[in-house]
Amino acid sequence: MSKDKSVVAMFAVDAAPRIKPSNYPEPFASRMQGREKRQLGDVFGLTNFGVNLTRLPPNSVSALRHEHSKQDEFIYILQGHPTLHTNEGRTQLSPGMCAGFKAGNGNAHNLVNETSDEVFYLEIGDRVAGDEGTYPDDDLMATQVQGTWKFTHKDGTPY
């Protein structure tokens, strides 16, 4: 959604969902099926960080399990009980819970909705240049080239 200068405030659920469901190449993009992101920061023209309202229907995931080299991330659970997967294992979350992922700490993470109810959460990430994404469970690596993510196999060959 492009910036609308006339918006002072809005209900987050009224923001339009992102049109492109995933930036991953296949076969990973299809694994994101059902996930829906509303890019709230963009509505207000923010550029230093992004804030998404993300909806995970049952059996969907937030992302491949990953960590960033430079981007800090933070999540706050609004509704439902997703499971946080990290290097340390599984942690069931509830509304009002939060977690943060410091760039470069090596702890890869994602959220999985293993319940039969919807999950809604806020996710925040900054936009430091030169970020890289690491995916311990998948043959994928991501590098930022002029603000756009480029995905390759771990040996550098393209998808």
Stretch that binds a second copy, among 20-28, 29-37, 83-91, 140-148 (CB under 8 A): 83-91
Q: Could you identify the residue written with the tokens 């999985």?
A: 112
Of 26 and 88, which has the nearer Cβ to a second copy? Answer: 88
Name the minimum Å distance from CB 73 to a second copy.
8
Task: Read off the tokens for 85.
Answer: 């997967």
Name the minimum Å distance from CB 30 to a second copy.
28
Q: Report which residue type is found at 155.
A: D
How far separated are the first and last CA of the chain, in Å rounded?
28
Positions 56 through 75 that interact with a second copy (CB under 8 A): 71-72, 74
Positions 96 through 115 that interact with a second copy (CB under 8 A): 96-103, 105
For β-strands 119-126 and 49-56, DSSP reports them as antiparallel
Q: Transcribe 61-91 into DSSP letters.
A: BSSSSBEESS--EEEEEEES-PEEEETTEEE
Inter-residue contact 74 to 123 (CB < 8 Å): yes
Instruction: Determine phi and psi for 32, rounding to 5 degrees.
Output: -90, 5
Of 33 and 94, which has the nearer Cβ to a second copy? Answer: 94
Of 96 and 158, which has the nearer Cβ to a second copy? Answer: 96
Of 7 and 153, which has the nearer Cβ to a second copy? Answer: 7
Among the listed residues 22, 23, 69, 91, the single contact to a second copy using CB under 8 A: 91
Of 77 and 142, which has the nearer Cβ to a second copy? Answer: 77
The CA-atom distances, in angstroms, between 137 and each of 8, 102, 110 are 42, 19, 11
Report the interface residues with a second copy, using CB under 8 A.
8-13, 40-41, 43-49, 51, 71-72, 74, 76, 84, 86, 88, 91, 93-94, 96-103, 105, 122, 124, 126, 128
